[in-house]
Structure 1
Amino acid sequence: MLSLLPTPIGNLRDITLRTLDTLASCDTLLCEDVRVTKRLFFLLSQGGILKMPSKPLHSLHSHNQEGFLAQVGHGFFTNQHVGYLSDAGMPCVSDPGARLVRFAQEHGIDYEVLPGASACVSAYSASGFDIKAFHFVGFLPPKSADRRAKIAKLIASVAALQTEIACVIYESPKRLLDTLGDLALMVPDDLIFAIKEMTKLHEQHHCGKILEVYEKFKALPPTVLRGEWVLVCALRPRSQSVLSYQEIADMDLPPKIKAKLLAKLKGVSSKLLYASGMRA
C-alpha cells in the first residue's frame, strides 16, 4: 500500500488529521528530502501536533527515483504500508511523486493521494479574480528568451480559446523581477495577484495591473522580495496581428532569427531555409 501525503506550505497546523493518522500507521516513509522531513517532524512534535515517529526514512526524489524503484521492486510496496512526503504542499504538483504513482499503476499496487495544502489553489482562491478557468503553469523557464516564448504561447492560447484565464505561476525571488518585467512588456494592462509566505505570519500580497506591480516591486528593497512567490495572471483574450511571410522576410533581423520565424510559417527546418538563402 502506498499513501502520498500533503505537508503544510507554511503554517504547521495546516497538516491534516488524515495525514497524521497515516504517518502513525505507515511502516516506512519515502521523502523528497530526508532532512526537510526530519525538520518538519521535529517542529510538529515541538508543537504537540505529532509524536516524533520512529520509522525508516528513505530519500526519493527526481534524481534517484528510477534507480530506487528498480532496486526495491514492487514487493517493497505490497509487503508494507509506505508513505511519501514531498517538501511542502501536494506531491506531484511542481514536486516529485508522479513517477511513484505510475509505478503503482504499472504494478497493481494499491495507492491513495490524500488532499491537503496547495500553493496553486490557495493563491487562485486568494486572488479574488472571478474567472471560471485557471491554468497551472508552475515554474517558467529560467532563460529570458525561453521564458518570453512560454509567455507568448500562454497569450496565444488564451487568444485561441477567446476566454479569460487565470495562469498560476511559481517564481523564486532571484527571478521574480525578470519574470514580472517580461510579463509587463508583453501584457502590461492585464491584472496580476502576487503572494508570498502563504499561511505564514508575514504573508504578503499585491494586486493590480502587471506594469504597476512590476514598477512597485522594482522600488522595493531586495529583502522584501525574499521568499517563494505565486503569481496569478488574469490573461485576457486579445486579437493578434499576423505578419505575412514577405513582411518578415523584409525585416532587418539577424539571418538565423529570421530563418526560425520563416521556418515556423512554412513548417520546414530553419537550417534548410537558412542554407537556401531564405527562399520561400
Structure 2
Amino acid sequence: MKIDFTGKKALVTASTAGIGFAIASGLAESGAEVVINGRSQETVDKAIARIKTQLPEAKLIAAAADLSTAEGCQQLVSKVPDVDILVNNAGIFGPADFFETDDQTWDTYWATNVMSGMRLSRAYLPAMQAKQWGRVVFISSESGRNIPDDMIHYGVTKTAQLSLSRGLAKRVAGSGVTVNSVLPGPTLSDGFKAMIADEVEKTGKSYEDIGKDFVMAARPSSIIQRPASVEEVANMVMYVCSEQASATSGAALRVDGGVVDDIV
C-alpha cells in the first residue's frame, strides 16, 4: 500500500512536538503541504526547522495560534482558510483529584480539548463537502473509554471528542468526507516524558523502561506491555487520512496497545 498525499493540504493542530509533530512529519514525507501549529511563533519555527532537517523539500506553513480561544481559532482559519485534512490534535492533560479540580480547570480542559476541534471542524468542513473530499481526525484517548479516576476532567473531554466525531461523521454522510477518532494509549510523547522525567533522573533508568513500568502499574491490561511510540500513533492517523481509508468514517480507532479490555 502506497499512501500519497501529493496535492493535499493538511492542518495538524499542536504539531510542534509529540504525537502532533510525528503526524505532521509523516504527512509531509508523504507529499502533503502541512500547516504547523503551536501557541508561539518560536515553537512553530523550531518544529519547521526540525522537519526541514530530515525533509528539505517538505512543504510547510507556519501558523502560530492559541486554539484554546475562539479568537485563536479564527486567527488560524483567517491565515489558512482551506484544508483537505484536519487533524484535531490540540489537547492538554494532567492528573488531579476530582475534589481538587476547580471550575476554571474544567473550563480550560473543555476549551482546549473539545472546543478547538469543534470550531475548526465547523470552519473547514463546508469546503470539504463542496469538494466532495476531506478528512477530519480527532486525537482522542483510551481515557475517553477507560476513564482514569485521577484525571476525570481529562477523560470527560476525551469522551466528548468521540461523540463529536461520530456526530460530525453522520452530519456529512455521503459527501466523500470522513470523520474519525484515533485513541492512543500511553505514548512516549514529549508530554509523557515530562511527566516521568523526575523518575528517570532519580532511578537512572531510560524513558522506555520507566514508561514500561508505568504502563504495567497504571494500565496493567495493556497487551503490548509498553508505551507506544509517537510514530506508531502517527501511522494510524496517516492511514485514516489516506484515500485508502475512504470506507472508514464515524469510527473510534484504538492505538492503545490493548489497554481497553473489550473486543469492539
Classify the TM-score, shorter chain: 0.3 to 0.5
Which structure dedicates a bigger proportion of its chain to helix? 2
Radius of gyration: which is bigger? Answer: 1
Q: TM-score, normalised by structure 2?
A: 0.35
